[in-house]
Amino acid sequence: MAINNTITLIGNLGKDPAEYTSDNYKNYVGVTICVTDSYKNEQEQWVNTSPQWFFVSFLGEAAQGYARNFRAGQRVKITGKLSAYQVPTANGHTETRLSVIGRKIELAPLPKRHAAKSTAEAAAASPSNF
């Protein structure tokens, strides 16, 4: 089976993994990950983009068990897929939202240019609603 819908996120976990129950009573483990891209500007200096936060759900016993082994602040690589779903709006229409369904999570090394920075910095900057 080909896997054509793949997303890879590399960043720091905002909080420890947490267990949730969906509306249809299925258990899953959720994590938040902060991703910041960077690029070289015209002066050849590295510039970080604004942080982006993603919520990732891990379904199934194996994925849930594996995701529970990680902690806030750790730099991780998450591979998964995007899932679209419809949500009713206040004006009676529907809007499409995207979620990330995790397939795999593993530790990720820091890029060489950032190796001296602490991975705890991202956890300290975690917004309270994540």
What predicted TM-score, i.e. pTM, was given to this entire model? 0.75
What DSSP string describes 5-23? --EEEEEEESS--EEEE-T
CATH class, range 7-124:
mainly beta
How confident is the model over 81-101, as pLDDT tens digits? 999 888 889 999 999 988 999
Beta-bridge partners for 43: none
User: CA torsion angle for 115, 116, 120, 125 (degrees, to 10)?
Assistant: -90
Burial 96-129 (b: 16+ CB within 10 A, else e): eeeebbbbebeebeeeeebeeeebeebbeebeee
* Residue tagged 């249809």 (tokens): 24
Report residues of the chain scoring pLDDT below 70. 1-3, 113-130
